[in-house]
A and B are shown apart, each in its own frame.
Chain A
Amino acid sequence: MFEYDFMQRAFLAGFIIATLASISGSFVVLKRYSMMTETLAHSALVGVAVGLFAGLSPLWMAVVMAIFSAWLIEYLRSTFHLYSDAILAIFLSGALALAIIIVSLGGAFNNSLFSYLFGSILAVNDEDLLTMGVFGGISLILLLGFSKELFFIAYDEEVAQTSGIKVKMLNYLLVTIVAVIIALSIRVVGTLLIGALMVIPSIAALQYRLGFIKTVLLSLLFALSSVAAGMTLSYYYSLPSGATIVMCVIALFITSLVVNKR
């Protein structure tokens, strides 16, 4: 299958997203922000809708909307002491409602939107790859650079704060990175499925009860192999790529659960 350029691009894009999603996902899961990924994906969809409606780049508008929502959610969470899961639920359905309205106003681009809902990795072009590479690279450097601090915050936010770590700044940084990664990923796995690629590899890796670095590496391995397996299966059996990737991650998760049952 690698004789086709589009498959080479698809695998490259898939591996970039798997790397970003699983590493950032480890922090997201430990901070109990799992639902944040779904919410930001829906916010990114609003950006896509706006982009298609206004004739702007859907990818860029997705990045902007996802970051904006991430900051607003973090602000509401830290300032008003609302239940954070309730805030996420409000944003999740609110964003979807807004996206649907913008889509129905536009009328003509329903098909195009469909590819953002469920991903169309085979349609990834060189420009998409470049954007993913550049922003993915920056996100990864920031994540790894602050990994010690983010790990401490995930373990105990208040003790981290009293030890002099800039918790508030780093929380904003993390949600910003996650927002960017999600916006980059919706082309590949789609709005409705990116949450799975971020959260499930790391939950599966946690079942092995290893130290932090080993857990992150294992979740990276799970994400990469799910993408590889999912895309191969989707190529040979004509299955939708995003959904097949997610089913592979879930298979790994169930295996991890069973293997580590005690």
Chain B
Amino acid sequence: MKFALPIFDVSSLNLEINSQKILDSLSLKIFAGEYDAIIGPNGGGKTTLIRLLLGLEQPSSGTIKIFGKSISDFKEWHKIGYVPQRASHVDAAFPATVLDVVKMGRTAKRGFFARYSAQDALCVEDAMRKMDVLDIKDKMIGTLSGGQRQRVMIARALASKPEVIILDEPNTGVDVASQQRFYELLRKLNRDEKLTIIFITHDIGVIADDIKRLFTVNRKLLTCNNPKEAISCEDMSRLYGVDAHLLSNHHHHH
């Protein structure tokens, strides 16, 4: 059965840049259905870890397996949705409607000159409905609010029918009301669609009792398997030089 095979299986991952250790012998496994948060100080390597998982950067040593395959042999990238940090800072003049952007989620499945199929249209509409952006589908992406744009980016990721979604600080530049709605949507996707969700966040206070596991990345990795008994995790994060509550009120823009 599928649950036996981790989606991500990372072992002894090292990354050195200019002889500085960015990540130091990280190992982790993420299984289907998880709802995990990654926290850590800025410059601690949490975005880098995600970029390694997505094949956007190469490790100095160590192995990454995705759905049991070595990352270099892995081809089914449509199973993995990615919502980058800068998603909410799109060039205001970019000539794309919400529908155009969500359709991008189906692009990799089409080939040279192939048109979008009826099934593509269904997946796109389904994704837009789930993220509640169907009624703004003809609006230009540059005119949306931060919260709307964030949901469009997730709709695009959902359009490829992924099994896991990775989000990098999804709430940068999004107001508090939208944030709560946003976490409800994520939780719903995880619960109802069995979608595995991994996200980097500063808002540990908001999601502490919701998440399945908490990863703290600060060059090394500490895994907290039961964040509901959060006291030890809070201690752990403080041990790592992260004051999660302080960070939640203090967004960093890049």
Chain A interface (Cβ within 8 Å of chain B)? 30, 144-146, 148-149, 151-152, 155-156, 158-165, 205-206, 209-212, 214-215
Using Cβ atoms and an 8 Å threshold, which residues of chain B touch A148?
103-104, 107, 110
- Nearest opposing residue in chain A for B55, CB measure: A162
Any A CB within 8 A of the CB of B197? no
Interface residue B97 (Cβ < 8 Å from any Cβ of A): yes
**Residue in B82, B95, B107 whose CB lies within 8 Å of A215:** B95
Residue of B nearest to A150 (CB): B107
Known: A158-B56, A161-B56, A162-B56. A212 touches B107 (CB 8 A): no
Residues A212 and B112 in contact in the complex (CB < 8 Å), given A162-B82, A163-B82, A163-B105:
no
Asked if B80 is at the interface of the complex by the 8 Å CB criterion, the answer is yes
Which residues from chain B contact A206 at a C-beta distance below 8 Å? 93, 95
B176 within 8 A of A: no
- CB of B93 within 8 A of CB of A209, answer yes
| Complex contact B100–A212 (CB within 8 A) | yes
Chain B interface residues (CB < 8 Å from chain A): 54-56, 75-78, 80, 82, 84, 93-97, 100-101, 103-105, 107-108, 110, 112-113, 140, 142, 156, 160
- Report A-chain residues with C-beta under 8 Å of the C-beta of B96: 151, 155, 211-212
How far, in Å, is B81 (CB) from chain A's closest CB? 8
User: Could you say which of B82, B103, B140, B156 contacts A209, with CB atoms under 8 Å apart?
Assistant: B140
With A and B bound together, what is the CA distance between A149 and B107 in angstroms? Answer: 6
Query: What 9 new A-B contacts, CB under 8 Å, besides A30-B94, A149-B107?
Result: A145-B113, A151-B96, A158-B56, A159-B82, A162-B56, A163-B78, A163-B104, A165-B107, A209-B95
Residues in A neighbouring B56, C-beta threshold 8 A: 158, 161-162
Query: Given A144-B113, A156-B84, A163-B77, are A211 and B107 also a contact pair (CB < 8 Å)?
Result: no
The answer for the CA separation of A236 and B194 in the assembled complex, in Å, is 70
A147 to nearest B CB, angstroms? 9
A211 vs B138: C-alpha distance when bound (angstroms):
9
Residues in A with CB closer than 8 Å to B95 are: 30, 205-206, 209-212, 214-215
Q: Which residues of A contact B97 (CB under 8 A)?
A: 211
> Are B108 and A163 interface neighbours, CB within 8 A?
yes
**Which B residue sits closest to A154, measured CB to CB?**
B94
Q: Which B residues lie within 8 Å of A164 (CB)? A: 75-78, 108
The smallest beta-carbon distance between B49 and chain A, in angstroms, is: 14
Interface centre among A158, A162, A205, A212 (most CB of B within 10 A): A162
Taking the closest CB of chain B, its distance from the CB of A209, in whole angstroms, is 6
What residues on B are CB-neighbors of A209 within 8 Å? 93, 95, 140, 142
Residues of A within 8 A of B110 (CB): 148
What CA separation (Å) do A209 and B138 show in the bound complex?
12
Once the chains are docked, how many angstroms separate the CA of A164 from the CA of B112?
14
